[in-house]
Amino acid sequence: MGIKIRRVFLAGIFTAIPVYITYKILEVIFQFMDQFLAPVVQPIIRHYLGFNIPGLGLVMMIITLFLLGLFVTNFLGRALYGYFEKILLRIPVVSSVYNFTKQIVQTFSPEQRSVF
């Protein structure tokens, strides 16, 4: 009985940890976008619309990710991305983290081949 309770409890922990980490990462990204990009865009929106848009960081993040995807899927973007990746892979600790993160993303990617 005690072993089953322990197993169920550990399953709950191992389920909650990735969800929590994902939430925190998204929270940091949204706060970054709100903190640094929204002050530039909010005055323009306020001028034309007459009010602020809450959650502008989310909208800016979606637009930024789309533009990044657009950039890395063309010839020049792929070349620059490859150059940037070679630089990252030469830095000892950064290369380990980058490779680990890239493998995780590729594992959950809907396509088996590289997006780039």
Given a contact cutoff of 8 angstroms between Cβ atoms, the answer to whether 53 and 42 are in contact is yes
| pLDDT value of residue 114 | 53
Q: What is the pLDDT of residue 105?
A: 77
Together in a domain, 42 and 89: no
Are 35 and 48 contained in the same domain?
yes
User: Do residue 91 and residue 42 come from a single domain?
Assistant: no
The answer to whether residues 81 and 59 belong to one domain is no
Residue 44 is predicted with a pLDDT of: 84
Handedness of CA 101, 105, 108, 111 (dihedral sign): negative
pLDDT the model gives residue 111: 65
> What pLDDT score was predicted for residue 94?
79
Query: What's the structural domain count of the chain?
Result: 2
Q: What is the mean pLDDT of each run of 10 residues along the chain (116 residues)?
A: 82 78 80 76 83 76 85 86 87 83 78 55
Same domain, 100 and 57: no
Question: b/e per residue, 15-50, with b = 16+ CB within 10 A?
Answer: eeeeeeeeeeeeeeebeebbeebbeebeeeeeeeee
Whether residues 9 and 61 share a domain: the answer is yes
Query: Based on the domain organization, do 28 and 42 belong to the same domain?
Result: yes
What per-residue confidence (pLDDT) applies to 96? 84
Task: Give the C-alpha distances (Å, rounded to integers) separating 82 from 88, 93, 108.
Answer: 10, 19, 21
Query: CA 22 to CA 8: how far, in whole Å?
Result: 22
Residue range(s) defining the domain that contains residue 20 = 1-72
Do 67 and 86 lie in a common domain?
no
Q: Is 20 left (phi over 0), alpha (psi -120 to 50) or beta?
A: alpha
Residue 7 to residue 4: CA distance in whole angstroms:
5
Give yes or no for a contact between 27 and 2, defined as CB atoms under 8 angstroms apart. no
| Statement to judge: residues 11 and 59 lie in one domain | yes
65 and 85 fall within a common domain: no
